[in-house]
Amino acid sequence: MRGTGFHRAARRHGARSLLVLSALSALGLLAAGASASVDATAPASPRGGGSAEIAVLLPDSKSSVRWETQDRRFLAAAFKSAGVSYSIVNAESSAQTQRTQAEQAITNGAKVILLVNLDSGSGAAIQALAKARGVKTIDYDRLTLKGSASYYVSFNNVKVGELQGRGLVSCLRASGMYGRKPLIAELNGAPTDNNATLFERGSDQILDPLYKSGTFRKGPDQPVPQWDNQKALQIFEQMLQRTGNKIQGVLAANDGLGNAAISALKARKLKGVPVTGQDATAQGVQNIIAGDQCMTVYKAIKAQAAAAAKLAIALLRNKPAPGVNGKTFDGRRQVPSVLLTPVTITKRNWQVLVKDGFLKRGDVCVGAYKRYCS
């Protein structure tokens, strides 16, 4: 941190001393402010210590806007309601930053960590560190392969992929392309994200039989590193180039990747190509009501956050774990899990997102999209 330098020497010793004391006081205030800014969402500890008993480690704000617009607010609300101290930080795509944030959380007194890993390797290392320090961990949304989390809270992610595959099939039927052997491109999620593997497994269950029968033709199929939307745009532009603009359906793993494909299609004036998505973002819903995206998958993050918060609080207080309804294999062991059910969103039912308080109508029905909301 940079302090304020003195540019003029004090004329007298007393004045110099006063200035030095004032500067030190200012520096102390700045340091306190910097410390507080690490997590502006955390309330003071109920016991007055100022430490955070539960720490949430979010992965980024680039792969999906949900982490900052949805998960943060719902988790904060759940912890505030329960009266426990908490911190919520975001690693912004850096595994090293997330490791440092975990170390800081443990130093600050965290007893439970909710982790959304950036990859299983770094996630497992964080969990090993926490375990060695007597801190319990919960995998939130993404499973850490061969980790040591006490619990896993997410949606049935194979089901998410199935909904995307079924959604694409339905949209191709509606567009009249189903019986014309459409060429399908697949934009899958980050290869380091176990959820992306599960999404693809689910969509493959729907699409692979159609490829095998010749009903659909399998086109370019590629993962997008770090769920990076700009990279997705470049990848999809290359797909269009290689196929001579003949792609007739896009299985996109989330709304950000879907929007990248839509941008490339629009740039080439290619219309009527069904594109899938996930996360029910405002942008994704805008694309749906405008007819550019055929569906998205709604995961009720408020319910997910509530389930994770209850588990974290139960671990903190050594109480029985609530809501566990299954187990998930992490490559080494079966992790007790809370798995919620995803829902398909289309132009017909998108307003359920508003009714649930997930999105505001004003988030969607603005600017050029107002005319689709009447």
In this prediction, residues 175-201 reach a mean pLDDT of: 97
pLDDT, tens digit, 9 for 90 and up, residues 11-52: 444 444 433 334 333 333 333 333 332 444 444 333 333 489
| 134 phi/psi in degrees, rounded to 5 | 75, 20
Looking at the domain 157-299+344-372, which fold is it?
Answer: Rossmann fold (3.40.50)
CATH 1.20.950.20 fits 39-149+301-340, yes or no: no
Beta bridge partners of 355: none
Give the mean pLDDT of 78-102: 97
- Residue 47 pLDDT: 32
Q: Please state the domain extents for the chain.
A: 39-149+301-340, 157-299+344-372
Percent of the chain with pLDDT over 70: 87
Condensed to tens digits (0 to 9), the pLDDT of residues 296-353 reads: 999 999 999 999 999 999 999 999 999 999 999 999 999 999 999 999 999 999 999 9
**pTM of structure:** 0.83
Q: Quick check: do 39-149+301-340 and 157-299+344-372 share a fold?
A: yes
Give residue 374's pLDDT: 79
Compute the C-alpha angle 365/267/181, nearest 5°: 95
Task: Find the mean pLDDT for residues 261-271.
Answer: 98
Mean pLDDT of 89-95: 97
Separation between Cα atoms, residue 298 and residue 25, nearest integer Å = 50
**Res. 62 pLDDT band, cuts 50 70 90:** confident
Q: What is the pLDDT at residue 162? A: 98
Q: Does residue 81 carry a pLDDT above 90?
A: yes
Cα–Cα distance measured from residue 314 to residue 218, given in angstroms and rounded to the nearest whole number: 47
What does the alpha-carbon distance between residue 303 and residue 119 come to, in Å, rounded to a whole number? 24
3-class DSSP state for residue 337?
Answer: strand
Output the pLDDT for position 164. 98
Helices (H), 108-252: 120-132, 157-175, 194-213, 229-243
**Distance of alpha carbon 348 from alpha carbon 285, whole angstroms:** 11
Q: Tens digits of per-residue pLDDT, 120-143?
A: 999 999 999 999 999 999 999 999
Question: What average pLDDT is seen over the chain?
Answer: 89
Count CB-CB contacts under 10 A for residue 99. Answer: 18
